[in-house]
Amino acid sequence: MSQTVNKSMLIHEIIEIDPGNAAILMAAGMHCVGCPSAAMESLEEACMVHGMNVDEVINSINEYLAKKESNA
């Protein structure tokens, strides 16, 4: 069953779902995904701090997860 990401999830939870999500976050401009304090931020909080559109980031991650599952 496919997991999806939402804006209230913590950064570390998103990376635990699939480590490939870290690359998506970094490519979007969130270069601090390995920082201990960033890991405890929600995706919405982290996007707000970085001036990123949370919905675009969620869509990118969920598309990646869906594609990965369909290829499994």
Q: Which amino acid is located at 50 in the chain?
A: H
pTM: 0.87
Q: Please list, in sequence order, all residues whose beta carbon lies within 8 angstroms of the beta carbon of residue 67, skipping any fewer than 6 positions away.
A: none
Spell out the domain ranges in the chain.
11-70
Q: Are 46 and 11 spatial neighbours (Cβ–Cβ below 8 Å)? A: yes
Q: What is the CATH number of domain 11-70?
A: 1.10.3910.10
Both tokens assigned to 1:
């069953």
pLDDT value at residue 51: 92
Task: Residue 47: count other Cβ atoms within 10 Å of its Cβ.
Answer: 22
Over residues 8-34, mean pLDDT:
90
The HSE-up count of residue 47 (CA atoms within 13 Å, CB side) is 18
Q: What is the pLDDT of residues 36-72, one digit of tens each?
A: 777 788 999 999 988 999 999 999 999 999 998 888 7
